[in-house]
Amino acid sequence: QKEVEQNSGPLSVPEGAIASLNCTYSDRGSQSFFWYRQYSGKSPELIMFIYSNGDKEDGRFTAQLNKASQYVSLLIRDSQPSDSATYLCAVGSNFGNEKLTFGTGTRLTIIP
């Protein structure tokens, strides 16, 4: 059974600091990795995806993937109070036609 593990938090980070969110997965055949942000009472919003080992940067967000260690992370630089949300890690096995397995999410709170 495919598993995706996240620290549930809550993770508290001062405003302006770097928030680091981590995720591990069990299926070594996984090929696609996603980070979703979910505000309370809202649906998940895709913020980053990564397929290759290494780093991928988009604005204040950086996704990091290490397939050998089965580990994916999300860094948020210059954290803002608006970044306070639950972050869901999701993993897929095949491109284009495969369902995703979601982690339980990490609740992030940015402290002003």
Partner 1 sequence: SAVISQKPSRDICQRGTSLTIQCQVDSQVTMMFWYRQQPGQSLTLIATANQGSEATYESGFVIDKFPISRPNLTFSTLTVSNLSPEDSSIYLCSVLEAGGYNEQFFGPGTRLTVL
Which residues are at the interface with partner 1 (CB under 8 A)?
31-32, 34, 36, 42-46, 49, 51, 88, 90, 92, 94-100, 102-105
* The pair of three-digit structure tokens given for residue 49, joined into one six-digit string: 């995806």
Q: How far is the CB of 15 from partner 1 (least distance, A)?
A: 26
3-state secondary structure 33-86: EEEEEECCCCCCEEEEEECCCEEEEECCEEEEEECCCCEEEEEECCCCHHHCEE
With respect to partner 1, which residue has the nearer C-beta, 15 or 53? 53
Nearest distance from C-beta of residue 11 to partner 1, angstroms: 16
Whole-number minimum distance, CB 36 to partner 1, in Å?
8
| Nearer of residues 18 and 46 to partner 1, judged by Cβ | 46
- Which residue's CB is nearer to partner 1, number 42 or number 77? 42
List, in sequence order, every residue forming a beta bridge with 19; answer none if it has no partner: 76
Q: Is 90 left (phi over 0), alpha (psi -120 to 50) or beta?
A: beta
Specify the residue, 66 or 94, whose C-beta has the smaller distance to partner 1. Answer: 94
